[in-house]
Structure 1
Amino acid sequence: MARTNSIVPLIILFLVIGVLAAVGFVVYTIVQDISKKTRAKMEKRHIQFSKDGVKVSMKEVNDEDYKDQTQSVLVNMWNHASFPAYKSRFWSNGVTAVQDKDSTKLYGSFC
């Protein structure tokens, strides 16, 4: 009888350790799965985690695409810009000028 009394606590100890090990393993696998999914999503956005820290890389853009985007921005800025006090000496910009007796006042000496 003395032998059975000393074996029961040992069996309970092994059961508790087994349950804790199973719970720890499940938590570990869930954390690893979440970290893999997060790393994959961040790498799609060109952000990498390393031992040195976080590295952010640029999305690869072809030279021709880059030039097209830059030119498009510049053309849009030029088309939407306005110069309220600007009067050209060479063309009328759609504004009809009133001709005076002396046309050199408006156009200078180019006419």
Structure 2
Amino acid sequence: MAKHNLVPLIILFLVVGILAAVGYVAYTIAQGVGKTTREKMERKHIAVTKDGMKVQVKGIRDEEYKDNTQSVLVNIWNHTSFPAYKSRLWDMSGKEGTAKKGAEKRKPHAK
């Protein structure tokens, strides 16, 4: 008779044990994925903290960044045309030798 009272208790312990094992495996996998993701992001100089995300720019100085940005903007300016715009200061038609007294073609900053 005592044997019949122990069967539900054994089944309960088995179910709880299986659920605990599945929960532990899921927790371990989630921690592993989080760790590898954090390591990959740190290699790309991105840090996630409880305050938020911090992105670091390494390998480029402020002066180099400004030079590159200025070079891109000057290239865009030099390759832009304004077909309906007539400037009083310089001729933007692209013809060399016309009224380009004070406005020379802009050159990018030399490195």
Counterpart position of 1:94: 96
Structure 1: unaligned runs, 5 residues or longer: 88-92, 98-106
Counterpart position of 1:12: 11
Counterpart position of 1:42: 41
SS of alignment partner, residue 59 of structure 1: coil
TM-score (norm 2): 0.58
Any residues of structure 2 matched to 1:1-111 within 5 Å, and which? Answer: 2-52=1-51, 54-60=52-58, 61-63=60-62, 65-81=64-80, 85=86, 86=90, 94-95=96-97
Following superposition, the deviation at residue 82 of structure 1 comes to 5.1
Q: Which has the higher contact order (CA 8 A, sep 6+)?
A: 2
TM-score (norm 1): 0.58
Number of equivalences: 91
Structure 1 Cα separation of the partners of residues 72 and 40 of structure 2: 30
Structure 2: unaligned runs, 5 residues or longer: 102-111
**RMSD value, Cα:** 3.0
Q: Give the % identical residues.
A: 54
Higher helix share: 1
